[in-house]
Amino acid sequence: MRLKNKRVAVFVELEFEDLEFWVPVMRLQEEGAKVTIVAPKANQTYKGKYGVSATSDVAAADVNADMFDALVVPGGWAPDKLRRYEAVTRLVRDMYAQKKVIGMICHAGWVGISANIVKGHRATGSVALKDDLNNAGAIWTDEAAFRDGNLVWGRVVKDIPDFCRELVKAIEESA
């Protein structure tokens, strides 16, 4: 178990991309990580784009960066909702400032943009975000998955295996 004693927050909101949420959650748990589901509200059930639900453990306003070793932002339409909450963007900024691993896949880049952490970094995701990322100062890269500093990027659903490999490796190597 490569991630034993690692604590990972995973964001959830309405219309998350089901596979981009559940596959990384299960992969992190498989490696021994303690996964905490973070959302705008605690103990709330959120339905994914394809009908699979997830229930939050805690509200973003009730956690801080010191509680986690890494953070994952799944895609879908959830990132467009998540980025509107100050508690969410604060957590992302604080994790970034502490050089903790932040994984973003598909549309998750919207959260990174709103948290002002993408400037100067290579980035990927759904091609729909290419202009948004470039306009925020990121350097668009059309690759399945990669790490740039403490940021781990994944492009789309078909790239989840590559994203999970990069994510697990980054968390394993983090202090």
d(CA 57, CA 74): 16
- The rounded radius of gyration (Å) of the Cα atoms in the chain is 14
Q: Which among 81, 100, 107, 121 is annotated as catalytic? A: 107
d(CA 166, CA 155): 12
Q: What's the N-to-C CA distance of the chain in angstroms?
A: 16
d(CA 92, CA 118): 11
Which element (helix H / strand E) includes 113? helix 109-114
Is 107 part of the annotated catalytic residue set?
yes
Are the CB atoms for 115 and 96 separated by under 8 Å?
yes
Instruction: Tell me the one-letter amino acid at 84.
Output: R
Q: Show which residues are catalytic.
A: 107
